[in-house]
Amino acid sequence: MDVLDTHSGKSVVIVGLEDEEIIRGIEELEKITFKDAAVNRWILAPFIEFGRVYALVDEFGFVIGSCEIFRAWQAEEAHLFAISIHPDYQSKGLGKFLLDVVLKDLKKWGVKRVKLTVSPKNDIAIKLYESFGFEKEKFVENLYGEGEDRWIMRLEMKD
């Protein structure tokens, strides 16, 4: 497991298929934060193998945040599939820390554009993304099913 950065005893790590406890921790976090839309090991394994999965862990190795990324067909583009922070750790700047580390790593990886989808009701996430320079590209009604509208947001990475 590669540690990318540490802040106040919390570390961002790149998750590998061998990191069983962290994978289980991400699964639990996903259930808490995304409920029925949570990813499980079946979905995490291809993300780990063919994209990137990041975990934010505390000093005891407890997963308190995660982020899943996959590359788009366009070689210089990535899609931020999901980012989450455990509810007990929200509003402490950890989402900003995690996203900052992820974007810096993606830049090293050669990514020039990042896209994501976000619920129009999730004002906190939208403000976070906008603070990094993400712009609303398009609004899509029912993207993930009836009543599941989303903004597609885009970030052009600066050199």
pLDDT digits (tens, 9 = 90+) for 112-125: 999 999 999 999 99
Give the span between the Cα atoms of 100 and 98, in whole angstroms: 5
Residues whose CB is less than 8 angstroms from the CB of residue 27 and which lie 6 or more positions away in sequence, other chains included:
38, 39, 40, 41, 44
Tokens representing residue 28 in the block: 């639990």
Residue 51 DSSP class? S
Res. 36: pLDDT tops 90: no
Instruction: Give the count of alpha carbons within 13 A of 80, CB side only.
Output: 27
Domain that holds residue 49: 2-156
Among residues 57, 41, 58, the alpha carbon closest in space to that of 49 is found at 41
Q: What is the mean pLDDT of residues 23-32?
A: 95
pLDDT tens sequence across 61-101? 999 999 999 988 877 999 999 999 999 999 999 999 999 99
In this structure, are residues 55 and 63 in contact, taking their beta carbons and an 8 Å threshold? yes
User: Nearest to residue 125, comparing CAs of 113, 134, 114, 112?
Assistant: 134
> Which CATH number belongs to the domain containing residue 123 in this structure?
3.40.630.30
| Mean pLDDT, rounded, of the chain | 94
The whole model's pTM is what? 0.93
Angle between helical axes of 41-50 and 20-34 (0-180°, round to 10): 120
Q: How many domains does the chain have?
A: 1
The strand ranges marked E within 25-127 are 52-57, 63-71, 77-85, 113-118
Question: If you count them, how many residues does the chain have?
Answer: 159
